[in-house]
Chains A and B, each alone.
Chain A
C-alpha cells in the first residue's frame, strides 16, 4: 500500500526524470539513477509505469514513448514535457539565498553577471528586495582572501580565544569560508606545524610574507581539510580534545544550533542533552558563562569546574575586595 507522501514524491521525481528524458532523448540507466538518486530497479519500475501513461484513449500512439532495456532508456516525449516545471518554494529560496549571499561577499561586483541574473530571477519569482544577506567584512578579509586565492603565504597577528593570547603566525592559506556568520581561514600554520582554523575578525594584522604558500593548490589536500574541518567550530579539535556532555534547558537550547560540532538528544527530565568536543578550557569556560544557570556539565567531572572557575575569575573584576 502506497502512502500519500510516497506517491506524491514519486510523482515529482518521475516528472523530473521525464523532463530530463524529453530534452535528452536517451540516457544510460546508470546516469539517470545517479542524477536522480534512485536505485536502477526503482527507476526502471517507475519508467515502465510511465510508459503506460498518456492521454485517452490510451492507444499506443497516445502513450508516452519510452523504451527501456538494462543499459539505456530511449524516449520520444515531445517538447511539452521538456519544459521546466516551476521552482518549488525550497528551490526558489535556495537560488535566491545563494545568489544574495555571493553578492554580499565583500568585493563582489555589484553590477556583474550575478547581479543581472538575480534581477531576472527575482522578476520571475516575484521577490525583489525581499531577501537580504549581510556578511561580515572584517578589516583584514580582503588581504586574506587574496592570499588564499593567489596561493601566497601570510603573517598574521592573531588573538586566539582558546588560549586567550595574541601571537604571530605564519600561515599557508587553504580556504576562506563564512560559517555561522563568521569568516574563517583554514590553513597550514607553520608555528603549530599543522592545519588550523582562524577567525578572520580576530586577526589584528595581516601581511604577505612574499613567499608562496607551499601547502596551497593541492586539490586533494584542500578537500581533505574541508572534510576534516567541515563539522568543527572555532577550532580544529585535535587529539587532545575532550568530549563533554551538557544538560541545557529551554533558555540555552540555542547552543545546539550555534555549535556545528555538537549533537543533541532529549533527556528524560525535559532538558536537552548536548555532546560537544572541547579543545580549550578557556573557550569552554566562556561558553558556560554565556549559558549561565541554564546549563549543567554532566560529564566529565573535571570540566564541571570550568564554568565556576571562569565565573569566579570574571567576578574578581567586578568585586575585587570580595574575592578570596
Chain B
C-alpha cells in the first residue's frame, strides 16, 4: 500500500516536470498508488488528490487533448513557481524589517519571507499589531483576481464587487460595490459571518469612476447607511483639546469661555457616535438634535435602571 503522501509527491513531480498534459490512464500508470483498474474508484482518488493540491495552492489544469480520453492534466510552471521579484539587497532588508515589525497573529509573513529566500530578521521590534482574520486572505485574493465575493452580514447575504481592503481605526474594512443595493458599501471584515466565498476570477466589474476612498469615511459615525444628521456635541475643557485633535478643526462650531467646545458632527451611524461619546465619560454631551439626544438618554436610562423620562419619545 502506497502512502498517500508518497502518491501526492509523485503526482506533483510527474505533472510538473514533464510539461505534456497527461491522461488519467497515463498518470495512473506513472504514479504508484492509484487503483489498478480503470473506473470510478480511480477517478475519485484522482479528483480527491486534485482537490488536496488545490487547497494547498497547487492548481492542476485540465486541457483538451486528442485521443480517446480527450482530457489531459498538467501543473503549469506559472501556476506553481513564484516569478522572480528581483529585489535589490536594500529592498530585501526593508521587506524583512516590515514583516518582523508587524504582528499579524500568525506566521504567514515569515513563511512568505522564507519562500522568497529571504532570511527572517531576528530581534526586530514590533511596530504594529494588526488583527488577523481568516477572511482577509480570501478577500485579498478576490481583489487580486477581480472576483465577486459573497458573505453573510447582519443576517443578510451580500454580493459585492471588491475595490479595496483597508485597515482603519483598528478594524479591517472591505470597500466595494454592493450588487443587490447597486451602491458603494463598506463592511467590517470581523463582522462577516462564516466563510467568504469568491466567484470566478474576472467576475467583478466595478462601475466606472468608482472611488474607494470616498466610500470609507475617516470617523466611525460616518460609517453607516443612515440619513446624515448634524449632531451638536459639547466637550468640556478637560478633553476639548484632545477631541479637537481627533475630529479636526472643521468640526468646531463654538468655544466657551471655560475652554469647552461645541462640535458639529455629520453622523450617519448614531450607534457608533454613542460608543465614541461614552468613551469620553461625562466630559461630553449631545446637545441636539432632540431625537439623537433622546436616544442617548434612553440608552443611559436602560443602563441606569431608572424609569424613562416622562414625555420622551419611545
A residues sitting closer than 8 Å to B (CB atoms) are 2, 4-5, 7-12, 14-16, 19-20, 23, 35, 46, 49-50, 52-56, 58, 80, 83-99, 101-102, 105, 112-114, 116-117, 120-121, 124-127, 129-136, 138-139, 159, 161, 164, 166, 175-182, 201-202, 204, 219, 222, 226, 254, 257-258, 282, 285-286, 288-290, 292-293, 307-308, 310-319, 322
Answer yes or no: B238 CB below 8 A from chain A CBs.
Answer: yes
> Are A204 and B281 interface neighbours, CB within 8 A?
no
| CA–CA, A201 and B11, complex, Å | 56
Residues of B within 8 A of A (CB): 3-6, 8-10, 12-14, 16-18, 29-30, 32, 48, 51-53, 55-58, 79-83, 85-88, 90-95, 97-99, 101-102, 104, 106, 108-109, 111-117, 123, 125-131, 136-138, 140-141, 143-145, 163-171, 190-191, 238-239, 241-242, 245-246, 274-275, 278-279, 281-282, 285, 293, 296-297, 299-306, 309
Task: Please count the residue pairs between chain A and chain B whose beta carbons lie under 8 angstroms apart in the complex.
Answer: 310
Is there an interface contact between B108 and A318, defined as CB atoms closer than 8 Å? no
**What's the nearest-Cβ distance from chain A to residue B47, in Å?**
11
- How far apart are the CA atoms of A258 and B6 in the complex, in Å? 45
- Given A55-B13, A85-B80, A93-B141; 5 other pairs, CB 8 A cutoff: A91-B109, A113-B90, A135-B128, A177-B127, A310-B281
B305 shortest CB reach to chain A, Å: 6
* Partner of A177 from B9, B128, B169, B297 at Cβ < 8 Å: B128
Q: Cβ of A133: which chain B residues have Cβ within 8 Å of it?
A: 130, 166-167
Which of A46, A90, A219 has the largest count of B CB atoms less than 10 A from its CB?
A90
Assuming A94-B112, A97-B167, A102-B102, is B304 touching A159 (CB within 8 A)?
Answer: no
Q: Is the CB of A8 within 8 A of B55?
A: yes
Partner of A55, one of B17, B99, B141, B278: B17
In the complex, A8 Cα to B58 Cα: how many Å? Answer: 10
Chain B min CB distance to A278 (Å)? 16
**Chain B, residue nearest A257 (CB):** B190
Q: Are the CB atoms of A53 and B9 closer together than 8 Å?
A: yes
Nearest 3 pairs between A and B by C-beta? A181-B170, A91-B112, A311-B304
